[in-house]
Amino acid sequence: MEKYQEIERSIIKKYRREIWNRFIDAVVQYRLIQENDRIAVCMSGGKDSMLMAKCMQELQRHGKYRIGLEFLVMDPGYNSANRQRILDNAALLDIPIKVFETRIFDIAAAADGSPCYLCARMRRGHLYSRAKELGCNKIALGHHFDDVIETLLLSMFYGAEFKGMMPKLRSANFGGMELIRPMYMVREEDILKWKKYHALEFIQCACRFTENCALSDGGVSKRQEMKALIKRLRQTSPGIDQNIFNSAQNVNLNTVIAYRDADGKHSFLDTY
């Protein structure tokens, strides 16, 4: 059996409950995929998007719907070592990637303001654009369960709003395109276990601006701060991460002081 076949088998056998079942649960519960979808599986070279690509391959082979897949790797200006690691891992995992180059890192470095915000916006735009050129109607990103709850806490603690990470979104700038997050229910600890079991080495954050824009006082990013907080809370309340996740799906509007939607801001006083 080839290495990639062992890895594929582990997803639906050894890690069936932790990875495969949760991947399928998200696809079904949030109706992420329909018949004849053509999906650009967007891969950064990290563990999350690489595992997502393998799950999507399995879904294409054995799933309910007939779907087409394009495995996209956007190079925003990686160094040669990171780029080669991505190519090597794609070959090892038997993922037929298509790499396209951009100058995002260079452009972001020369811009005023936050390079992180600009970089993220440009990356998303380039992925949508290339996916559309390839005839895709959706792009798939590798955000997982922990990303979801961390984003929710970040929005409250540092953005002063209750704003979640949605399992799917329609693009506002690319007509007919949609973003989906099939790893929405898969926990990071299980992705790490899968990675360690197969002794796989993926690139970490390859952003050249990390030291300048993602660090807070004390040398820890805000997202890492949320990870540490949730880890501490789990020690006394093991189910707290699931409760955070569920809270975004159990909002009691009768107890909300105000909220925003497409029509503007609304107060409970409007109908009191």
Bridge partners of 258? Answer: 267
**How many CA atoms does the CB half-sphere of 18 hold within 13 Å?**
14
Give the pLDDT confidence of 36-57 residue by residue, as tens digits: 999 999 999 999 999 999 999 9
Please give the Cα distance from 232 to 247 (Å, whole number).
19
Give the pLDDT confidence of 142-183 residue by residue, as tens digits: 999 999 999 999 999 999 999 999 999 999 999 999 999 999
CATH superfamily of 3-213: HUPs (3.40.50.620)
Domain boundaries of the chain, sorted by first residue = 3-213
- Angstrom CA distances, 69 to 20, 39, 66, 98, 112, stand at 18, 5, 10, 11, 37
Could you state, in chain order, the average pLDDT of each consecutive group of 10 residues for the chain (272 residues)? 93 97 98 98 95 98 95 88 93 95 73 67 85 96 97 95 96 94 98 97 69 43 92 95 96 94 95 92
